Copies of this chain bind each other. A is one copy, B any other.
């Protein structure tokens, strides 16, 4: 009986979805040895070499502390470099980092194929789009 009300709660359904899809993404990206977030960060760097941590955080909607730590991790793996430039630090991928590019993109497509094959490409695209719009509405960055 309560179950019905739970599934009418956005918090409840959204966090369940997050757990499911995060697990799927982790499994998919495990081939790269990276967490999904680290892989996405790397993709952001590929796209815009030398961008600042701040920009990375804004792109991925992650807090500065999370960005710092994800970056530390990638630096430790020698996949990116930090270039301190006054109060900002610029991030570049290393050669080793660039070598991962293909694999990461494969995982990224594979993840999409995976959930699309279950829920259907149209539904997947539609829901993703809707969630994205709702995110922008709810995320009132003060």
Contacts and interface: CB of A to CB of B under 8 A. Distances in A.
A19 B19 CA distance: 12
Interface in A1-48: 1-3, 6-22, 24-25, 36, 40, 43-44, 47-48
Contacts of A3: 59
A50 to B, nearest CB: 15
Q: How large is the interface on A (under 10, 10 to 19, 20 to 34, 35 or more residues)?
A: 35 or more
Contacts of A61: 16, 19
A8 B130 contact: no
A8 B131 contact: no
Nearest to A19: B61
A127 to B, nearest CB: 6
Contact of A128 (B1, B7, B21, B43): B7
